[in-house]
Structure 1
Amino acid sequence: MEKDLSVLKQHVAALLASLAAMSAGIAIGWTAPALPLLQAEEPAENVPLRVSVDEGSWISSLLPLGALFGAMPAGLMADWMGRKKAILSLAFPYTLGWLLILFADETIVLVYVGRFLCGLATGATTVLVPQYNEEIAEDAIRGALGIYMDFMLCNGVTLINIFGAYLSYTWFTIASCIASAIFLFTFVWVPESPVYLIMKDRMEEATEALSWLRQGKRSYDVQEELRYLQVNLISQSDDQEPRPFCDMLMRILNKLSFKSRTFRTVFIVYGLMVFQIVGGIDAVLFYTVDIFNDVGSDLSSNVSSIIVAVCQSVCNLISAFYVDSLGRRPMLLISAFITAVCHAALAIYFYFKGSGIDMESWSWIPVVALILFVIGFTVGFSQLPWLMMAELVPTRTKTWVNAGAVTLNWTMVFVITKDFPDMVQYLGNDVTYGLFSCMCVMSFVFVAIWVPETKGKSREEIQEALSIKKKVTSSKGDFA
């Protein structure tokens, strides 16, 4: 029971931090119910303005564009303000963005600005929340805490789709704004990351934070874990000193070899971020309704969006229970295999349909493939790249490596979501999904060859696995 209390408080802190990710999910999913109302030929009485198809595409794409710029300074914010204050500060761009959208009336520029501000906060969220959750976690539950960001993000998408189905435009936009306020007034009560406090030599505060997070743990020595974290911070740095981005970049360019631990880390983390997006998940999520219409589904737009969002949330929850027992690599490999097969099924279906073959009796195949694709993606590539980014990147280089990885991720999101309609138009559905299937196969090979297993390993053990240099050892107590 005492150990359960310790684990419980870590879960609570991670969940409250991940409420920022729920706000991000609400912002991402808002366009699904909102755009049909804003683009309707005869808008409802409470809808303030009507937008064209091109204006609607900008409303959608300004969020990932804002996320690019939000991710870039997030690492610096975390080192300057602290993890907790940096995450808390995100409530303000979220809230301001929603207020601008809510009171835009007939001024679409305010909607653009509001979406961009929500994008800034979303990009920073995807850098800061995984970092905080990883730094407060014991080794044995680090995987479960690391999944919370994506789990809460999916819950945000689900909630806004449900709100959009049953509430008016004004009220589901108000609900979006309230989520940010709830996050602000709950996360303020949890402690700062002990790792950050140790970096800043604030040992008394680090002791208090670690005592709160490990409260109730039997025969626990706070000072022993503090000493371990101090030694670990030193051993993670190649030269014991943090380097500016330009210096680190030059070192990597001068050591284009896997003998460099930094290069290996960047290669793996950035590779995971790229393969997360090029598998086509954002094309599926942003254009769920269009895809269901292409296959002749009778499901309404609201129902189809809710089905996809609920599948994501449920599978994220299931993954949280198994990530620390099955391991990261097996779940990534399973995810890549399932998504490759589902895309191949879609490609084959559309090929035969485009060839003039009557596929009416087989129309269930693409619907099942879409649902299985979302399930397969969610159990692995949805959340594990974020978790492994937090696990693999040394604390002293998180500032620029994490920001660069998330910026790359959102760049890919922007490109895929903008280009998907053109790919379908000029290449056809069969070729488009065939290409996505090939990307998933490549992601399977990438994980099988390069990605290490981090399940149950300490931060020191993970860094040793990434380095072929002489291992640095240190004493470590029972913190798992």
Structure 2
Amino acid sequence: MERRSEVVYKSVCENADGKLLSKKEDEPQRRNRTFLYLSAVIANLFMFSISTLSSWSSSAIEKLTANSSDINPLGEPITAVQESWIASLLPLGAVVGPLLSGKLCDTLGRKKTLLIMAVPNIISLLTICYARSITIFYICRFINGLITGMAFAITPVYLSEISEVNNRGAISTLQGIFMNAGVLFSFLLGPLCSLKLLTFLCALPAILFIILFGIFIPETPVFLVSVHKEDKAKEALKKLRMTKNVNDEFKGILSSFQASNQKEQGALEVFKDVGSRKALIIIIGLMFTCQCSGVNPVVSYLDTIFKESGSTLPLYFLTNAVGVIQIVGNCISVALIEKLGRKILILTSTVGVLMTEITLAVYFYLKHVQQYNMDGMSWLPVTSTITFIFFISLGLSQLPFTVMGEIFPHSTKAFGSALGCCSGSVFAFAVTFLFRVFMNLYGLAFCFSLTSCFVFCGMLFIYFVLPETKGKSESEIQRMLIK
């Protein structure tokens, strides 16, 4: 006879053998996860703030090239070379940032490192508000890039370590929503605000983050256990789960840490340990596929792509439509990730990106190389570009960070994540720089043909190499990797 009133709960923790533990029968009600999700939202306020800086340069460069001193705080228009530096110093700093985060993350903790990072980020933004020298802009943009790279390495670790197995994917994917919301924030307000006001508004979420995250949100129980603060770890776990009954989960964290702690510690362990080494290869492969799809240059050069398409739709409308589509794709990803899993979503995303890029390559080949009259098809590249943005937001742009937070063991998670983010930043910088060069030399048809080849290789890599981590504990994931 069916018992309709019974609620079955599957715990997130594991025993010493790596098996998931079931919730105690004397606690039939589902746990209240309000504070857990609130913690994830507040942690992502910082990601929102640094993501505004990606699209900040679009509006900033427009204002810095103006002749009017009322618009341009520098008093005279900047040159094309100075434009390039302002745009590229952020990703250049992001190459170095992750390398600084690993040791800090393991020494100071995830929470303290994130809070410390927010301070120079805010200072650099407030400095830009009153800057009258292009050199100051350069220095501040590079600092922002350093912080961005560090945040990309540490935030996924924090989110993964506070979450449960059955909601780890959804919580980690929230990062993508906040990042794309930050990009849209600057796109929407940039044309409407002065440079000073826009920059100040970009700093506000980081200020709010320091206040809320610093006062109300705990350190991860996993880190506290790693520094032998078991009592504080248990209190943090009780706060995150909003229940006092966390004994089983806490034992699971202890046993997982003890198993991981038996391995040699240190940065080089990520290369020596078989599971960590394979995890690093997987993350680098995912970062390669994402960045070599050309997502950054496509977003950066949206105006050029839309103009080349012959579309008559307003650029402001198209740009903001892209921002909205990014958020829609991320929201769908959050809704589906615990149902379909990481691999299926990433693979679906990659196939969609490949199809849209092939379409763009064929269109621009027919228009520019074969000189066909494509006036009646001007809607095709616009639709394909927006579809490209949707598919890459569905998985390929954000889920690599979710996988990164899950796939490394505790002993190598900080440094492994740092190396993964560093590789992504290197790919992003190289592709963004070369895309513009190739676009000028060979045209958009060549650019999209090249990125299509990269994505095809990435699709094969994902299909044959990427394991599914949905619902699996750290021990189970590591056993998969060393097979």
Contact 2:154 2:414 in 1 (8 A): no
Residue by residue over 1:13-62, the C-alpha shift from the partner in whole angstroms, topping out at 9 and shown as x without a partner, is: 1111111110111111101221112123x346232022111101100110
The 5-angstrom pairing of residues 58-77 of structure 1 reads: 58-77=85-104
Number of the residue aligned with 2:267:
245
1:5, distance to aligned residue in structure 2 (A): 5.8
Residue by residue over 1:255-300, the C-alpha shift from the partner in whole angstroms, topping out at 9 and shown as x without a partner, is: xxxxx32222111111111111001101111111111111122334
1:231, distance to aligned residue in structure 2 (A): 1.2
Number of the residue aligned with 2:343:
329
Contact 2:109 2:219 in 1 (8 A): yes
Residue by residue over 1:399-455, the C-alpha shift from the partner in whole angstroms, topping out at 9 and shown as x without a partner, is: 321111111111111111111111112222112101111111111111110001111
Number of the residue aligned with 1:232:
256
1:245, distance to aligned residue in structure 2 (A): 2.4
Number of the residue aligned with 1:162:
188
Q: Distance in 2 between matches of 1:68 and 1:79?
A: 20
Aligned match for 2:317, one of 303, 310, 325: 303
| Aligned-partner residue type, residue 334 of structure 1 | T
Number of the residue aligned with 2:162:
136
1:462, distance to aligned residue in structure 2 (A): 1.4
Q: Distance in 1 between matches of 2:268 and 2:475?
A: 26
Q: Distance in 2 between matches of 1:72 and 1:308?
A: 32
1:133, distance to aligned residue in structure 2 (A): 0.3
**Is the aligned partner of 1:396 residue 2:411?**
yes
**Is the aligned partner of 1:438 residue 2:465?**
no
Instruction: Count residues in correspondence.
Output: 453
Number of the residue aligned with 1:460:
475
**Is the aligned partner of 1:22 residue 2:44?**
no
**Is the aligned partner of 1:261 residue 2:275?**
yes
Contact 2:407 2:478 in 1 (8 A): yes
Contact 1:70 1:123 in 2 (8 A): yes
Structure 2, gaps ≥5 residues long: 1-6, 8-27
Number of the residue aligned with 1:316:
330
1:463, distance to aligned residue in structure 2 (A): 1.5
Residue by residue over 1:150-193, the C-alpha shift from the partner in whole angstroms, topping out at 9 and shown as x without a partner, is: 22111100111111132222211221122211111111110110
Q: 1:43 to 1:419 in 2, by over 3 A?
A: farther
| Aligned-partner residue type, residue 357 of structure 2 | H
Q: Distance in 2 between matches of 1:247 and 1:389?
A: 16
Number of the residue aligned with 1:474:
none
1:234, distance to aligned residue in structure 2 (A): 2.8
1:360, distance to aligned residue in structure 2 (A): 0.2
**Is the aligned partner of 1:198 residue 2:213?**
no
| Aligned-partner residue type, residue 423 of structure 2 | L
Q: TM-score with structure 1 length normalisation?
A: 0.91
Contact 1:265 1:393 in 2 (8 A): yes
Residue by residue over 1:120-164, the C-alpha shift from the partner in whole angstroms, topping out at 9 and shown as x without a partner, is: 111111011100000010111000111122221111001111111
The 5-angstrom pairing of residues 175-214 of structure 1 reads: 175-188=201-214, 189-214=216-241
| Aligned-partner residue type, residue 316 of structure 1 | N
Q: 1:179 to 1:101 in 2, by over 3 A?
A: same
Contact 2:98 2:421 in 1 (8 A): yes
**Is the aligned partner of 1:287 residue 2:301?**
yes
Q: 1:167 to 1:352 in 2, by over 3 A?
A: same
Structure 1, gaps ≥5 residues long: 253-259, 469-480
**Is the aligned partner of 1:34 residue 2:60?**
yes
Q: Distance in 2 between matches of 1:126 and 1:177?
A: 18
Q: Which moved more, 1:189-198 or 1:83-92?
A: 83-92
Q: Which moved more, 1:410-419 or 1:132-141?
A: 410-419
Number of the residue aligned with 2:247:
223
Number of the residue aligned with 1:114:
140
Give aligned-pair identity as a percent: 30
Contact 1:37 1:47 in 2 (8 A): yes
The 5-angstrom pairing of residues 338-377 of structure 1 reads: 338-354=352-368, 355-377=370-392
Q: TM-score with structure 2 length normalisation?
A: 0.90
Contact 1:47 1:170 in 2 (8 A): no
1:12, distance to aligned residue in structure 2 (A): 0.8
Once superposed, what is the RMSD of the aligned Cα atoms? Answer: 1.7
Q: Distance in 1 between matches of 2:200 and 2:318?
A: 23
Q: Distance in 2 between matches of 1:6 and 1:419?
A: 49
Q: Which moved more, 1:170-179 or 1:341-350?
A: 170-179
Contact 2:63 2:71 in 1 (8 A): no
Q: Distance in 1 between matches of 2:226 and 2:440?
A: 52
1:467, distance to aligned residue in structure 2 (A): 2.0
Number of the residue aligned with 1:46:
71
Contact 1:37 1:44 in 2 (8 A): no
Residue by residue over 1:179-208, the C-alpha shift from the partner in whole angstroms, topping out at 9 and shown as x without a partner, is: 211111111110110000000110110010
Q: Distance in 2 between matches of 1:409 and 1:420?
A: 16
Q: Distance in 2 between matches of 1:198 and 1:33?
A: 45
Contact 1:72 1:407 in 2 (8 A): yes
Report the secondary structure of 1:379's partner residue: helix
Contact 2:238 2:245 in 1 (8 A): no
Contact 2:276 2:416 in 1 (8 A): no
Aligned match for 2:149, one of 116, 123, 146: 123
1:3, distance to aligned residue in structure 2 (A): 5.9
Number of the residue aligned with 1:419:
434
Contact 2:47 2:179 in 1 (8 A): yes
Aligned match for 1:102, one of 101, 113, 129: 129
Q: Distance in 2 between matches of 1:424 and 1:170?
A: 33
Q: Distance in 1 between matches of 2:382 and 2:79?
A: 29
Contact 2:130 2:196 in 1 (8 A): no
**Is the aligned partner of 1:410 residue 2:425?**
yes
Q: Distance in 1 between matches of 2:291 and 2:398?
A: 12
1:248, distance to aligned residue in structure 2 (A): 4.7
Report the secondary structure of 1:6's partner residue: coil
1:4, distance to aligned residue in structure 2 (A): 6.2
